[in-house]
Amino acid sequence: MFYFGADYYPEHWPEERWDRDARLMAEAGFNVVRLAEFAWSKMEPREGQYDFQWLDRAISVLASHGIQVVLGTPSASPPPWLMAKSAELFLVREDGRRATFGNRREYCPNNPLYHDYTRRIVAQMAGHYADHPAVIGWQIDNELGGRCYCPICASSFQAWLQRRYGSLDELNERWGTVFWSHAYTDWDQIPLPLTTGGSPNPGLALDFHRFASDSYVAYQQMQIDILRQKCPGHFITHNFMGFRYDQINYFDLAQNLDFVAWDNYQRTEWGMRAEVDPGHAALAQDTMRGLKHQNFWVMEQQAGQSGWGTVSVAPRPGELRLWAYQAIAHGADAILFFRWRTARFGTEEYWHGLLDHDGNTSRRYQEIKRMGAEMREVSERICGATVKSSVAMVLSYESRFAFQIQQNNPQFSYPSHFYQIYRSLHQRQTLVDIVAPTDDLSPYRLVVAPALHVLPKVAADNLERFVRAGGLLVVTPRTGVKDEANSVVNRRLPGLLAELCGTEVEEYDSLPAEVSNQLKFTLPELASAPPASARVWCDVLRPTSATVVARYTQDYYAGKPAITRNQVGRGQVMYVGTMGDAPLYQTLARWLLHSVGVQPVVNAPEGIEVTERWRQNSQLLFLLNHTEQEQEIALNGRYVDLLDGSAPLEGTVLVAPWDVLVLMETRPH
């Protein structure tokens, strides 16, 4: 069943209003709401006094209009009576200062007292709602994250290290604590990487980032265990933060959930730009689908202008619906808009919902109501249909953490580098799967692993297996530099991949922002490629068995190889030794996709996004117009338009500004 709905806070509005809200929801085609994820102080107003009556009444009003319920566990915003119990409940930031009450997410994820109170409220909610006919599942907490540097975390970290290394000798060896006289003789001497300690040992810092991530995974698991035991009929998920969030290993966090859900905002007050680059949301959707290699939910889909202190650009007419379809086009099986009605009070007064502050419907509500009517027609065809891709990009949270500790170059950003490559594929209408370094790569023809900095042997072996089976692998600078303890490997770079790449990094240059180096393609098939340049980082390569694809033309390494390609059996490995500019990645994307025989589904003009979902042999085609102009697209086959149910389409179709077409092929493959 496809779920379509909103995030709703009945506790913010008079009870007399609830029925009207539920009616407007039903009229918009909604069949689900998420409730209660910030309502701890309403559900447990005083310690041990639980009150679910108001929530029961809200749920029964909703249920009477055919709306089902996802309940959020409320641990992201604890009540004042709980936080007043002990200063230790509060998270300590990197600079050693403790958070104070007044926002949310202020708790320490390892505090035993916080665990106790979490367990109690979750068990109470689970017990109360286990058999409720309108409740279908759970969202744990809200957007888990934030690293805590408190003394409790310090001792949990020490215990975590003890489990990881077994002995201090081992830890001292792996971290290289002989440097600056850091050899530890007792576990409790090991500090946290507080900013007051200056630049920490990279091994310690990476392990702390791993530990902080594990802390949330464990805190979530504690809640999962309670819910699994008490509510076996319900699903359990969490609302993730897309590609952007970088402090939790999302592959780990997703592992024991039934599916991933996430929060999708494309115009926010923090990024005030007239134009929206749809590639960012596309990458986020693909990442969310990749965490479990399955379809996902959007638990919070933008419903209007966002804003805390300032107000974002208003979503243009059609954008809200377009963005929701974009999520569906990438594998979403549910969309809930955040939020139903714009709050009149609290930090998020300007984070607009589908209804205005005064409770009236808006242009936004009408737009989504139209979508609701469409979903009634098409959602059953869409739900469960899968996205298939023959191209993958490897996302390594460990490498991402390592670059947070040592940036390598002030212009370098792992997520931006990753995105730049993703974008060149996405612009060619290529669907990309985002995978973990040890995921099965056999479904793919092309795998790009950007800056795989921390490279465990198992990951290197996995990539090698892919290449030996005939795949095309692309790696970029700073790959294979670090071992798992975040020490530099004792080998020629790219370390464990040097042999597979058939090339070695002879030396490297780190460039200032104003300097670039022109590249010259030496392969005949790339001779007519537009000029491309090297930026940020230049690996000077010395091929051992690879052929040269491009050379630097400037500086003391003019004429030296910058990009190489190595044939390994039926497979190939490209080493792209620089961060490059957009034309470089566009040229490479065109060439690589062509050489593995991956064709765009449909050739579409810029600003048009095309994706497919499949059910058995039946194809659904999504054509999304992210521009202000009407666009013309030439189809390859014969289709029916599922949204307007018109006569079969063939040849050229027009897509209106910010509009979407959902087409189904009339003759299955």
Q: Catalytic positions, please? A: 143, 300
The per-residue DSSP string of 293-326 comes to TS-EEEEEEE-S--BSSSBPPPPPTTHHHHHHHH
> Which residues lie across from 33 on neighbouring strands?
6, 69
Query: Which of the choices Zn ion, ligand GLA, none does residue 207 contact, using the CB cut-off of 5 to 8 A by kind?
Result: none
**Least distance to ligand GLA from the beta carbon of 351, Å?**
5
Q: How far apart are CA 624 and CA 611, in angstroms?
A: 9
Min. distance of Cβ 98 from ligand GLA in angstroms?
22
Identify residues 618-637 at the interface with Zn ion (CB under 5 A). none
Structure-derived torsion over alpha carbons of residues 78, 82, 83, 84, reported in degrees to the nearest 10: 150
Q: What is the H or E stretch that residue 336 is in? A: strand 332-338
d(CA 344, CA 349): 6
- Contact 9/58 with Cβ under 8 angstroms? no
Phi-psi region of 31 (alpha: psi -120 to 50; beta: other; left: phi over 0): alpha
CB of 7 to ligand GLA, least distance (A): 8
Window 264-303: contact mask with ligand GLA (x via CB under 6 A): ------------------------------------x---
Residues 348-407 that bind ligand GLA (CB under 6 A): 348, 351
Q: Which lies closer to ligand GLA via its Cβ, residue 355 or residue 505?
A: 355
| Residue 297 contact, options Zn ion, ligand GLA, none, Cβ 5-8 Å cut-off depending on partner type | none
- In contact, 603 and 428? CB cutoff 8 Å: no
Q: How far is the CB of 60 from ligand GLA (least distance, A)?
A: 25
Q: Which residue is nearest to ligand GLA (CB)?
A: 263
Does 106 sit near ligand GLA (CB under 6 A)? no
Nearer to ligand GLA, 245 or 591 (CB): 245
Q: Residue 323 Cβ, how far from ligand GLA at the closest point, in Å?
A: 14
- Residue 108 interacts, among ligand GLA, Zn ion, none and using kind-specific CB cut-offs from 5 to 8 Å, with Zn ion
In terms of CB distance, is 108 or 425 closer to Zn ion? Answer: 108
Please tell me the distance from the alpha carbon of residue 489 to that of residue 455, in angstroms, as a whole number: 10
Q: How far is the CB of 41 from ligand GLA (least distance, A)?
A: 16
> What token pair was written down for 184?
């530890």
Q: What's the N-to-C CA distance of the chain in angstroms?
A: 25
425 touches which of ligand GLA, Zn ion, none (CB within 5 to 8 A by kind)?
none
Q: What binding mask, one character per residue, do residues 210-249 give for ligand GLA by CB under 6 A, x or -?
A: -----------------------------x----------
Give yes or no for a contact between 473 and 497, defined as CB atoms under 8 angstroms apart: no
Residue closer to ligand GLA (CB basis): 142 or 201: 142
Choose the contact partner of 150 out of Zn ion, ligand GLA, none; CB within 5 to 8 A by kind: Zn ion
Q: Which is nearer to ligand GLA, 34 or 551 (CB)?
A: 34
- State how far the Cα of 107 lies from the Cα of 148, in Å rounded to an integer: 8
263 binds ligand GLA (CB under 6 A): yes
Q: How far is the CB of 239 from ligand GLA (least distance, A)?
A: 6
**Which among 533, 418, 393 has a CA at the least distance from the CA of 473?**
393
Amino acid at 99: A
- Binding track over 141-180 against Zn ion, x by CB under 5 A: -------x-x-xx---------------------------
* Three-state secondary structure call for residue 119: helix
Distance CA 521, CA 630 (A): 37
Is residue 223 within 8 Å of 123, Cβ to Cβ?
no
Judged by CB under 6 A, does residue 439 bind ligand GLA? no
Size of the site for ligand GLA (CB under 6 A): 8
Nearest distance, CB of residue 166 and Zn ion, angstroms: 24
**Minimum distance of ligand GLA from residue 348's CB (angstroms):** 5
Give whichever of 118 and 142 is closer to ligand GLA, judged by the CB atom.
142
Name which of ligand GLA, Zn ion, none residue 377 binds, using a CB cut-off of 5 to 8 Å depending on partner kind: none
CA distances from 112 to 117, 226, 375, 404, 411 (A): 9, 16, 45, 29, 41
61 binds Zn ion (CB under 5 A): no
Binding partner selected for residue 300 from Zn ion, ligand GLA, none, CB under the kind-specific 5 to 8 Å limit = ligand GLA
Closest alpha carbon to 661 in 584, 601, 574? 601
Told to check if 248 binds Zn ion by CB under 5 A, we report: no
For Zn ion, how many residues bind (rule: CB under 5 A)? 6
Q: Which listed residue (70, 108, 541, 576) binds Zn ion by CB under 5 A?
A: 108
Which two tokens mark 470?
A: 């005939």
Q: Which is nearer to Zn ion, 93 or 615 (CB)?
A: 93
CB nearer ligand GLA, residue 30 or residue 38: 38
- Distance of alpha carbon 597 from alpha carbon 390, whole angstroms: 10
Task: Say how far apart CA 427 and CA 513 lie, in whole Å.
Answer: 26
Site residues (CB under 6 A) for ligand GLA, limited to 107-146: 142-143
Q: Are 654 and 625 in contact (CB under 8 A)?
A: no
DSSP per residue, 447-511: EEETT--B--HHHHHHHHHHHHTT-EEEE-TTTT-B-TTSPBPSSSTTGGGHHHHTEEEEEEEE-
CA angle 94, 95, 98 (to 5 degrees): 85
CB burial of residue 186 (10 Å; 0-12, 13-18, 19+): exposed
What is the per-residue binding string for ligand GLA in 317-356, x denoting contact by CB under 6 A?
Answer: ---------------------x---------x--x-----
Q: CB-based burial of residue 371 (10 Å sphere; 0-12 exposed, 13-18 middle, 19+ buried)?
A: buried
CB of 152 to Zn ion, least distance (A): 5
Taking the complex as a whole, how short is the minimal distance between the CB of residue 209 and Zn ion, in angstroms? Answer: 14
User: Out of Zn ion, ligand GLA, none, which partner does residue 153 contact, by CB within 5 to 8 A per kind?
Assistant: Zn ion
Our CB check for Zn ion shows the closer of 108 and 574 to be: 108
- For Zn ion, give the closer residue by CB, 148 or 498: 148
Residues near ligand GLA (CB under 6 A)? 142-143, 239, 263, 300, 338, 348, 351
Which residues contact Zn ion (rule: CB under 5 A)?
108, 110, 148, 150, 152-153
